[in-house]
Structures are given as structure tokens and as C-alpha cells.
A and B are shown apart, each in its own frame.
Chain A
Amino acid sequence: MSDAPLLAARDLRKTYRLGRVDVPVLRGADFGMRRGEWVAILGSSGSGKSTLMHLLGLLDEPDAGSGDIQLDGRSVRGIRGARRNAYRNATVGFVFQFYHLLPELDVLENALLPCRVRARLLGWPSVRQAAQEHVRGLLRAFGLEHRLRHRPRELSGGERQRVAIARALANRPEILLADEPTGNLDARTGGEILDMIAGLHRQGLSIAMVTHDPAVAARADRVVHLVDGRVAAS
């Protein structure tokens, strides 16, 4: 594991406006993770942990003039357009608490979606076979080989989350950003998902995982405590 941070954030601030009231969610949060590290961001509800994850994944913008986000030492805070989309598509992979699979697509199509977004129209035929082999391999490894043509509504919660993880890994991202990946699952299924994430971590994947559960956070290499929009302890 290298000491240089793979993903680093400094002095991130984020304020939401609710009606006429400004609600600060992040108040100068700092974050850093090394390549191959599994970092848990632990915090109670409203502490800003999901917002931090969205900012790290460039899904959202920090307040104007606040902080910076760097990947491999290069600032990615201001990137726009195609580069920003490419970052979300291939540099990071998101896993959400509620799986967020597209109900109209089957398991294989859901997991392949980032590859198709990346390939766009004309490139898809040339990369299709390789992408399908890779994604099928992931789904096979996650025990979903027999579910490839099933729709999300036909799957259990654990199976859906495994499909979501396969989708997040479809483009071989450097970092997995998981937002409460076990938050919607029972303890046993949640444990299985954590085992899977641990397996990915052992294979060298860098993981940032948001959770409110200290027991879940304890599975990570390092825990970052977020309190009132600031990192309280690490």
C-alpha cells in the first residue's frame, strides 16, 4: 500500500438551501485514502457522510471557493463535461444503499450499463464481447450466474446489492464508493456483502464506504468519524 494519497479532499464545504434557510452540511471536511486502502466514513444521520461521498465521486459540487479534491495528486474539482462523466464512469464506481438498479433492464444489462455508457453508440460492437465476458465473470464470482436474465424485482435484497456492486466494478474503477451498502439488508445478508467487499479489497481495490454502523465500519482498514460536517477523528 503506497503512502501517497490516491484520493484526497481538503476543506470541503457544502451548504444546501431549504426554502429560505441555508443548511450547512459539510463545514470544512478533510479526507484522504491511499491506494488499496479501505476507509469507512462513520457518522450519524445528517453528519454529511453521504454528501462527502457525492463530492468525492464528483456527483455534486462543493460550495464555491471551498476546498479541493485530488486524484493521484491532481485536482479534479473543476473538471467538467466529458472528463467529469468519464471520472464517474470509470475512475470511481458507486454502490448505493437502495441498490438503484434500472427496473426495465435485467441483471446482465444493469451490470453492463457503465460499459455501454462508456462505449457510446459506435464503439459498443467492438468492445461488447470483452465487456460481456468481464461482467459475466463478475456476476459469476458474485454467485449470480443463474440470474443473468432476471429483472431486479425478481431478486432478493442481497442479490440486488451484488448486482449493484458488479455494475460499480464493470469498468474496472480505481475506487469503489459505497454509501451504506448494507443499510437496507438484514444482518446475515449484510455480512455477506461486507465479505464480498472485503474480498475485493484483498484483490487491491481502494474502497471508501459510508456507514452509520460502527460494527460495519470496523471491517475497514481505517475509520473516519464525521461529526457535524467535519472529520472528528481518524
Chain B
Amino acid sequence: MYAFTLANRYLTSRVIPLIAVAAVALCVALVVIVVSVMSGFLDMLKSSGRTLMGDVVINYPVRGLPWYQDLIREIESLPEAEAATPLIDTYGLVRMPYPAGADKEVVTANVWGVDPESFERVTDYSRTLHWKPPANRSDAGNMAPDDPRLALSPQIEADGRALRQSGTGEPGLVMGIHVSIVNDRQRDGSYRSRYGWFMPDHAVTLTLVPISGKGTVAEPRERVFQVVNEFKSGVYQIDKNRVLIPLEEAQRMLRLDRGTLFDMDAPPNADGTQPVLGESPARVHRVLVRARPGVDPPRLQAAVAAAYDRFAQRGATDTSRVVRPPAREMVSILTWEQHLRDLIGPVEKEREMMRILFSIVYLVCAGLVLSIFWAIVQEKSRDIGILRSIGASRPGVLWIFLQYGLVIGAVGGVVGVGLGWLVIRNINAIHEAIGQDAPRWTWVVAFGLSAAALVMSGRGARQGRLLPVLLWLVAMVALGLAGAGLLLHRGTLIWDPAVYYFSRVPDQVDWFTAALTWVGAVVFSVLGASVPAAKAADIDPVRALRYE
């Protein structure tokens, strides 16, 4: 009891322990911030992958998977599967409507042909549509008065969902918000038109290159599509590269649509046509599958693989069809995480590496507490002598300083986690601030405070005391340097979305890491305190009390 009281008093009645608390807090905050950003980045990567691709992906690229409707029916009958959707995944050229004149801009794009209705059920695609009017007054209230979305009609959202142009019924194209250069991102995440262009007012020309059955490049096909909306997935690389068109249009342009299979080796019929072998079914490159709630991707993956086996076996024995589905070995069935393994794996390793590297911070905590406590024990040796003289045991004295370290670690850890939380929650605002020139008032205040510190230093000198002079001079130099830094600061882009995939810095605290770091700070603070605590317990009370 006395040990707790004394530890508490030593903590609250002196400045040095507060410095130790601040040091531990800074160390903990550092780890929490860095690892939280990395974990957030990883989570965003994973969740965006899942949102964009469903839970399990069946891949059969280039030649395309025939009879996919049968496969989708098979999969949708599974108790593990919520929905499945076919997908064409290819690359093409998009001829933009800008600039004015004949020499239009052309960009390469990752073209997805999708069936809007089932694609929506698998990926919640409509949530990513950017151009839509506010859903309610509350949403409208959160938008800037000049946000163009306030003036939009609900039809633009409906067109985006259906990938069709209302009125004409013509197929439409939805492109990522950064595919064109006309959308200027604002601080609040909204977009303003650049150069007066609004893409859903314009049409683009899409060129795709089909691959023949022999694996050679066939005649490119082009088609004009009206842009009906733009989407924002949050993954910069996707928002910059991907365009969506209706599935059947993509199949037609790639020659993957339904057709008739002729026997080119047989002699022609009397009317000069080649004999018909049978139906050439429409094909897709992928089938995306979404799991029912509570079903994890690996479980769904196993069920989908079994469903594919059944589908392939049926296809192999169906004599009414000439074209057979590819064997199971030719098709890859991956969870979204496996699909993005190349990307997620290194980031996961980087995060673990960070955790390990930053565990050095624990040693810093231990070293700080050790050195500060060493000084405190030196100073408090007389108190320790008194305690021994009134019957305090050595473990009792030891326990005072261990508790002291425990409290410093615990309080410093809590403050550090709080500080980390504060920074993480506001990291995008901080990032925005760093990205701009410092406001004039910041460096004016810094220089003003620096001048005030100089005055205070002079006052200390007149009193003939060195310590205040020195402290105020240090403050003057620090504030002066800060002012100069702010004055010279020019906006720095730290989080480049082109490098980090996402247009926003992750702002969620990794609570597991925060808890782990807190425990580490407590343990290492106690370890740091243990050496001076043992020294305190060994103090000879006679020597401690003899010298005054």
C-alpha cells in the first residue's frame, strides 16, 4: 500500500516522470501511427479487392469459358453462394472526346464487360457510381454548395446501374473517375469539372482486339459508347484504368458471343456454305462469385471447385454439344485474396517487418525509464534509507520503483495510443496541410514566439541565472527554426495515390497493434525500472541516512 502511495506521489509531484511518460507516449504513438497506416492500407487493399471481385474468381482468360450460364446456375444453387456473375476482362483503347479538334486523346484501358444486374449482386457496383444526386437532405447538407452532384437527376444513376443510355436504349460505358483528365479532386473527396468537361455528356470510341480461335490477333473492332456515368472504387489504379461496358457488347467486340460453328475442313454444301458442326456458345473470361453471409472464401472456393467439376463432367458427356467446357486443371479458381496474393503478400510482409523494426522502440522505452529512474534513485536514496529504517523490506522498496515504472509505462502507453488515435483520425487533414504552403500566420506566430523567448532569455541573464537563459535560448532557436521551416515550406505530396493505389490515407487505428504496443511499453518500462529498483533495494540505509 505504501509502495503504491509513494509511486503515485513520485509520479505526480515531479517533472522528470512526466518527461518519461511523454517519451513513452511518443514512442507508442509512433508505432501506432505507422503500423495503423500500413494495416489500413492492407485492409483497404483486401476489402477493395473483395468488393471489386467478389469472394471467389473462376478464371479462364483469352479463349473464354463456354456454357458459363450453366456454371452460374450450378454455382447459384450452392448453399454457400449468394450470387455469381460473368465477366469479360480485356484491354483496349479509348478515344476521348477531348481536346477540341481532330487530334483526340487516346488512352489504354482495362475493359470489363459485365452483366449489370448480376454484377451488382456480386460486387455492390452501384455504390461506386460517383455521379448521382444526394440520396436525402442529410447527404445534400454534407455536400459543398457548388458540388455538381446537387444538380443531377436520378436518371444518371439509373443509366450507370444499367449501363444503358436512357431514351435511346443504346449501350453505355462507365469509366473510372480518373480515366479521363477532366475530373479535379477536391479536398472533401468530391470532383469539379476541369476545362468545362463533364464526361457523361460525351461519347468515347472503344477499340478492342479479338483473339481468334487459333490464338492469333484478329481485326480490331471499334464502337462508340455514350459515357453514362463514372465510378470511384477508391483504388486509384482501378479508377485510373478501368472502364465498364455491357457484357454482350464486349462479347460481340471480342467475338466471344454466341454463334454457329462451321466445319471448315469438310467440303462445302451445295449452296456453297460450310457444314454446320453445332452451336458456338458465348464465352466469358471470368465468373465472380459472392459468398453468403457467414461463409468464408476458402469454404466457398471448395464448393465452387466441386460445382465446376460437376459442370465439366456434364459438359464432357453431353453429346448434343460440340464445344466442351475446359477441364478443371485448365481453370483457376481462386479466392479474392489468392487472386491479389502478389500484391497483398509483400505488403503483409512489410507490415510485419515494420512491427519488428519498431519493436526497437520498446528498448528506447526501457532505456529512457532506466536512465530517468537511475537519477531518481540517486536522488531518493535518503528516502529509501528512511523507509528501511521504519521496517520496509527490500522487496517493498523494489516494488515501489517497479510500480513507478508500471504506472509510467501504462500512462505513457495510454497517452501514446490516444495521440496515435488523434493523428490517425486526422491524418488526411494533416496530409492536406502538409501538401500546401504553410499559412502566413503559422510562421509569423513561430517567429513571434522565438522573439519572445529571446526577451525571456535576456530577463534571465539580468537575474544572473544561467539555466533560464539556456532554456529560453534553446526555445528561441527551436521556434526560429520552426518558423523558418514553415516559411520555406512548399506543399509536399507524401501520399501519392499513383504509388499507393488509394486516394486517401488509411485513417483507422489498428487496435490489435495499439494493444500490443501498450503491453510492450508497460513490460519494457517495468524492465527498465527493474535495474534502478534493484539498486534502490540494495541501498545501505546507514550510508543513505548518514550524509546530509
Contact = CB atoms under 8 A, between A and B. Distances in A.
Interface of A: 50, 54, 57, 59-60, 81-82, 85-90, 94, 96-98, 100-105, 109, 113-114, 116-121, 124, 167
A117 B397 CA distance: 11
Given A100-B545, A117-B392, A121-B4, 13 more contacts: A57-B389, A59-B542, A59-B545, A60-B542, A88-B388, A89-B390, A96-B545, A100-B386, A104-B10, A105-B5, A109-B5, A117-B2, A117-B396
A45 to B, nearest CB: 13
Contact of B391 (A85, A98, A104): A85
15 contacts: A54-B542, A60-B541, A60-B542, A85-B393, A86-B391, A87-B391, A89-B390, A94-B390, A100-B382, A100-B386, A100-B389, A100-B545, A104-B13, A117-B391, A121-B1
Interface of B: 1-2, 4-6, 9-10, 13, 382-383, 385-393, 396, 541-542, 545-546, 548
A89 B388 CA distance: 9
A117 B10 contact: no
B6 A102 contact: yes
A231 B526 CA distance: 49
Contact of B9 (A54, A105, A119): A105
Nearest to B540: A60
A82 B393 contact: yes
Given A104-B13, A116-B5, A59 B389 contact: yes
A-B pairs with lowest CB-CB distance, top 5: A89-B391, A104-B9, A116-B2, A124-B1, A88-B391
Contact of A90 (B4, B382, B391): B391
| Most chain B beta-carbon contacts within 10 A, residue among A114, A117, A120, A121 | A117
A108 to B, nearest CB: 12
Given A100-B386, A104-B6, A114 B542 contact: no
Given A100-B382, A105-B9, A116-B1, A59 B541 contact: yes
Given A109-B5, A117-B2, A124-B1, A85 B392 contact: yes
A99 to B, nearest CB: 10
Contact of A167 (B6, B9, B390): B390
A116 B383 CA distance: 15
B7 to A, nearest CB: 10
Contacts of B383: 102-103
Contacts of B391: 85-90, 114, 117-118
B380 to A, nearest CB: 9
Nearest to A106: B9
A102 B9 CA distance: 10
Nearest to A82: B393
Contacts of A88: 388-391
Contacts of B6: 102, 104-105
Nearest to B11: A104
Contacts of A57: 389
B126 to A, nearest CB: 63
Nearest to A81: B393
Contacts of A50: 546
Contacts of A109: 5
Nearest to B399: A121
Contacts of A98: 548
A6 to B, nearest CB: 19
Contacts of B4: 121
A156 B229 CA distance: 84
Contacts of A60: 541-542
B459 to A, nearest CB: 27
Nearest to A98: B548
A51 B402 CA distance: 32
Nearest to A128: B1
B450 to A, nearest CB: 36
Contacts of A82: 393
A113 B388 CA distance: 11
| Most chain A beta-carbon contacts within 10 A, residue among B385, B390, B546 | B390
A13 to B, nearest CB: 15
| Most chain A beta-carbon contacts within 10 A, residue among B385, B391, B393, B396 | B391
B10 A113 contact: no
A113 to B, nearest CB: 6
Nearest to A167: B390
A142 to B, nearest CB: 18
B13 A117 contact: no
A113 B542 contact: no
Nearest to B544: A100
B541 to A, nearest CB: 6
A113 B2 contact: yes
A102 B386 contact: yes
Contacts of A86: 391
Given A100-B545, A102-B6, A104-B9, A59 B388 contact: yes
A114 B1 CA distance: 11
Contacts of A54: 542
A86 B393 CA distance: 9
A144 to B, nearest CB: 18
Nearest to B14: A104
B223 to A, nearest CB: 82
| Most chain A beta-carbon contacts within 10 A, residue among B1, B6, B10, B388 | B1
Contact of A120 (B1, B5, B387, B390): B1
A75 B4 CA distance: 34
Nearest to A168: B390
Nearest to B386: A100
A94 B9 contact: no
| Most chain B beta-carbon contacts within 10 A, residue among A102, A120, A121, A124 | A102
A105 B6 CA distance: 8
A172 B219 CA distance: 108
A121 B391 CA distance: 15
